[in-house]
Amino acid sequence: MRAIAAHLSNYLCKRRPTINLQSRNFSSYSGKDELSIEQEGERKVGWLLKALFLATAGAAGYHVFPYMGDNLMQQSVSLLRIKDPLFKRMGASRLTRFAIDDERRIKILEMGGAEELLNMLSTAKDDRTRKAALEALSALSQSDKVLASLHSAGALSIIKSAPNSHEDADVEKFKLSLMKRFQDLRYDLSS
């Protein structure tokens, strides 16, 4: 009996070989994961380098843009000479954005922009073209020298003769702003 009991206990309570716990893989981390993490890191670094390049190019362009200003102003004045109202509006809106200080306003005057804007206003067939011309003239009129030149070019009669818009209140607003500017500098409004 003892022999049978020994065999049975040996059979039932067999010692299993010890398992090396350090070699067991308890995580889902594998070589494939390492490769995908590396690719994701490279992609993020790539985007960082692209963003850095774009920021550098934008900063360089921002510093170079003022040197191109005279050429762009000349192109804008040239757009006013084209017969298509769309190009005239584009030129007028560009001149409005350029007329931020007296130096640039006088530069636009010297290039013939003020006279072209007056021609644009007098020949405008639609409200959007009139509005763009009046807005640009209003921006240019912030300089006393430009305003004197506009007065001598007959701007008052052209501005008064521009029809009012029933759809766009800005046309009337720019007309009144220009008339007030002429009145503030004591120009004769009856001409």
**pLDDT tens-digit series, residues 142-183:** 989 999 999 888 888 898 888 887 788 888 888 888 888 888
Instruction: Output the CA angle 74-62-135, nearest 5 degrees.
Output: 45
Note whether 98 and 72 are within 8 A (CB): yes
Q: Which two tokens stand for residue 77?
A: 């004045």
Distance CA 88, CA 136 (A): 11
pLDDT digits (tens, 9 = 90+) for 121-131: 999 999 999 99
Integer angstrom CA distances of residue 26 from 18, 29, 33: 17, 9, 15
Is 75:68 a contact under the CB 8 Å cutoff? no
CA atoms in the 13 A half-sphere facing the CB of 23: 3
- pLDDT < 70 positions in the chain: 1-2, 5-32, 63-70, 188-191
Q: Residue for token digits 């362009």?
A: 61
